[in-house]
Every structure is written in C-alpha cells, then in structure tokens.
Structure 1
C-alpha cells in the first residue's frame, strides 16, 4: 500500500459527510468527475473499495466507515487547530466536547444540549456519535466533557464515571397511516401479530419494550431490527411496520415522517443521562444542561420538551 494522499483523503471525507459526490462537488467547487477520480485513486492506494453503490446513490461500506472515522478525526482536529490559531487567547470560545450514544434520538439530544447554547460565553460545541463503550473510553481520556446516553453507567464498566439523570419519557407507537388505522382500535393488543420494527440490541429501550410485550401477552411479528433510529423511522414511514419513539417528540415524528400515532405507553420509558468523570459537575455547559434538567424535574422531560 502506497502512502496516503491527504488531498484525496480530504475529498473522500467531504463526500462521506455530504452524503454524495454531487453535494461534495458544490462544496469543493470541483466537478463530480474530478472528485470521483480522486476517490478512485485513494481506493487504489488503500487497496480497498470505500463505497458501495445502492441504486443511484453510494453508501460507505465497512472499510469506508473505518477510514471515515480516522479522516473525521484528522480533519476535525485540523479545523479546530485553525480556529484556535485565528483567535487571540482572550477571544477563544469555550470548548465543549460531547459524546452522544447512537441509540439516543437526535432531536432528544438537541433538546438536552440546547441550554448550553444559551450561555453568555461564546461556545464551540464538538459532538461525536458512537457506541457507548467507545464513547466511555473517550471520556476516560478526557476526549469528552460528558456523554449523553439512554442508560446509566454500566455496572461492569472499567471507566470510572457518574450518571446524572436528565429526564425520562414514555413512548408512543407510530406507523404509516393505513397501517395505523388498522391497529388503533384495541391498542395495545392490536399489536399482537402486527409487523414491528425493533431498535437494535444496544438500545436501552429494547429490553424494556420486550418485557412490556411479555407482560401484556403481545407477540408482534418482528419485521426488522435497526441500530440506526433514522433508518428505522424511514422504514416505518414506508409502511414496513410499527415503531416506537419517545412520546415527548411525537408531534415532531408525525410532522417529519408523515406517520400516524397508534397509542402510548407510560409503562415503557426511555431515560436520558449525562455521564461524566466528575461527581460534581463544573464545566459551565454541563452545569447549564444539568440545571435545565433539574428545573424540568427528573421525571418531567416530557413536559419540558413540549415547552421548548
């Protein structure tokens, strides 16, 4: 394998971030053919393809995702360095690094982090998404100030940390309008035998949901399992099955995906935590997030999110 050409790697990084060569060409002010050729040269130097073609689109394959994770770290640090060099010490923004577990819904993560944006200081927020174990490893070496998770610190974790409850929400069940009309009457037992889209094994909601099905003697037909919540919602909107999300964002889910709500359960809950290496929080942004959560009340995230 020859030495990596970092210009080619940068083009690849922009394409992966933009989601396609067309959008990347607009950002880089280069023709799609030029970018495509540069990525081909990068793949040849690495000895592996980085994208798979899906219809008329391209998607990162396993190797591409690994390369992207390194490229993202390289060029994000470069942007950070450039930003720091262009600010005098007194003008430098307050740095706030957050790890967000990939099973936490993006809109929930935004709602929880949004109080930090209201600080009087100029804030530079850096968010990284990933598996809990990976993010906790980063927390241990102080790559993150906090990790936003859908569960507390695992009891068997080798990382020393503290879990700060930010809120809790019941769940709502959604489906494409035609399917929702069939299942609305008789909920929740109407879900028995219905196609259901289950969150992935890493989601803290999954075991709670399955226990609730057992208690209610509901046996849905599992039509799919998804680690990616956005992909799960897309399949649900297309009519592939019923799915559940925090009831606190029900209005947004219906508006964004054109789905209908079947019913709700307060017995199945999602919890949201800030995990830190500090028992007593000190970072101004983390304090602002925790303070906003306390004002809502530990179990009042549903109300708090509706008021935002």
Structure 2
C-alpha cells in the first residue's frame, strides 16, 4: 500500500470544505485543472471516488465523507502542533496522557483525576503498566505523567522529576463484629490474614511489627495488586493490611471496619515527569491541585 500523499489530501480537504472547485482553486492560487488533477491522483491512490458530480456541484461520496472526517482531524492536529511548537501553548482539547503503576489503588487515581472529570475541552487517557515499562514510555514521550508508589531515582542517562504527592496511612481492616483493640496485641493472633506480597514495603513494615510482638500471622492469601487486595478484604472474611484509601467505599458502606492504624507506616504516592521544552500545562495544574488536597 502506497503512503498517503498529504499534499493531495490537503487539496481534497479544502475543496470539500469549500464545495466549489473554481473558488477553491482561486483561494489556493492554483489552476482549476491542477487542483482537479491533484484530487484525481488521491482518488486513484485510494482506489475510491471521493466526489460525484450533481449538475455543477461536487458532492462527497460515502467514502469522501469518511475521508473528509479524517482530514478534518488531521489538519486540526496540524494547526495544534504548529501553535504548540511556536508558542508552547496548548489549544483547547489537548490531551493528557497518564501512566499508572498497575498495582496502585484505583481509588487514589480516581481522587487525583477528579478535578479534570467533566471539564469541557479536557481529554485524558489512563494506562496501567509495570514500573520499568511505565518509565520507558515516559522517557520516550509516550506519556506526560507517571503515577507510582515506588520512588524513582535518576541516573546518568535520565534525570527523573519525582514528586511525593500523598502519604496514605496503612490500616488493619476486616469484617464487622470482630472484637479487636486499636492497639496490636494477642487478640490478633486468632485471626486469618490477607496481606500484600512479601517484597512490598507494606508487608515488610507489617512483618516488622509482628516480629516486635513475636507473632506469626495465619496468612490465607497474598496479592501484589491493590484492586485484588480490596476484593479479598471485602469477601474473604479475613482481616487485611492495606491503605485506607483502597477500601474507602467498603468502609463507608459498613462492609469493612477499620480496626487500627499501623503507627508510622504509610504508602507513598509519587508523580514522575521528565524535563520537557514544552511541558503539558495540564500536568502542572493537576499536580498543583493534588498537593493542595488535604
């Protein structure tokens, strides 16, 4: 398949918008025959008729209408790109591309994105990736912002801009009706546990507390994904150790109860960016609003 000739596409787009070949040729400072020839070459390369004649009028065919809708978007994006490169200012409708660590709390992401939800002319996309893929996409300019709960340190090849956005307390939660105190003691020995996997910072901190109390938890399930931990906490009947934001809805509805908060144990949430000549203004706005949240 031959590559699309955008010069021909531009002429087609202008004629389709104008609806009159003669007038369009005058505006473009080309002869009518040259303009007609350019469009004919586009049709031949596609193997489709884009216009049909009705009397003296040129009318778009079904294929022509589809091609026109694509051309509209292509040249709108071209104008947007030109403005962006010349001034660094984004036009309305510019997109914000966000990558997030696949194991992060969806509730935290939802809270973070709330200022953009429903705002006119704002488009955004969210992609879940693992950490190395997340940073690679950011470094290759496929993402404007990366969200993670793992701190990122720069090296000689890449200087990451890593900002702490929030710290969420880690709590013990479980089904209602358990007679458990607000301080860790022998009452917790009788319980079954759902925990993050062994190599997670939350699990390591919890294991440290257990060691202080000479306590070995009866672990029935482990997960490295906060969405899965949320489901296990809600449905297993066991007690769990996780950030309160993860089970916000279950706590509000009474399906789960917050029994105690682990002292000096937090999950940190980071925003990672890289230096850009033309930064996305929505990134700065979103991060500023996030830091202002209580």
TM-score by length of 1: 0.59
| C-alpha distance after superposition, 1:238-260 (max 9, x if no partner) | 23421123235654232368122
* 2:174 paired residue number: 175
1:116–1:286 CA contact under 8 A, matched in 2: no
What's the counterpart of residue 233 of structure 1?
A: 230
Contact 1:162–1:279 (8 Å) recurs in 2: no
In the alignment, structure 2 segments of 5+ residues that lack a partner are 1-68, 81-90
| Structure 1 residues 147 and 209, CA gap change in structure 2 (3 angstroms) | farther
Change (3 A) 1:83 1:112: farther
Aligned counterparts, 1:190-205, within 5 A: 190-192=187-189, 194-200=191-197, 203-205=200-202
**Partner residue of 1:207 out of 204, 219, 228:** 204
Please state whether the residue corresponding to 1:192 is helix, strand or coil: helix
Contact 1:196 1:241 (8 Å CA) reproduced: yes
Q: Deviations over 1:241-298 (max 9, x none)?
A: 21123235654232368122221124110111001113999322211222123324xx
1:81-92 pair list within 5 angstroms: 85=73, 88-89=76-77
Instruction: Determine if contact 1:173/1:245 at 8 Å carries over to the other structure.
Output: yes
1:225: Cα distance to partner?
0.9
State how far apart, in whole Å, the 2-side matches of 1:249 and 1:93 are: 31
- 1:221 lines up with 2:198 in the alignment: no
Cα gap change, 1:225 to 1:283, in 2 (>3 Å): same
1:255-270 pair list within 5 angstroms: 255=252, 258-270=255-267
Aligned-partner Cα distance in 2 for 1:215–1:83: 67
Give the deviation of 1:104 after TM superposition. 1.4
* Residues 134 and 155 of structure 1: CA distance in aligned 2, closer, same or farther (over 3 Å): same
The answer to whether 1:292 aligns with 2:280 is no
- Please give the alpha-carbon distance, in whole angstroms, between the structure 1 residues aligned to 2:218 and 2:257: 19
- In the aligned structure 2, how far is the partner of 1:221 from the partner of 1:200? 14
Change (3 A) 1:214 1:142: farther
State which structure, 1 or 2, has the greater radius of gyration over its C-alpha atoms.
Answer: 2
Pair 163,143 (structure 1): closer, same or farther in 2 beyond 3 Å:
same
- Correspondence for 1:244: 241
In structure 1, list runs of 5 or more residues that go unmatched.
Answer: 1-80, 297-303
- TM-score, normalised on structure 2? 0.61
Is the CA contact (8 Å cut-off) linking 2:159 and 2:274 kept in structure 1? yes
Pair 1:161-2:160 in alignment = yes
RMSD of aligned residue pairs (Cα, Å): 3.4
Q: How many residues align?
A: 213
Aligned equivalents of 2:142 and 2:166: distance in 1? 24
Instruction: Check 1:86–1:142 CA distance in 2 against 1; reply closer, same or farther (3 A cut).
Output: closer
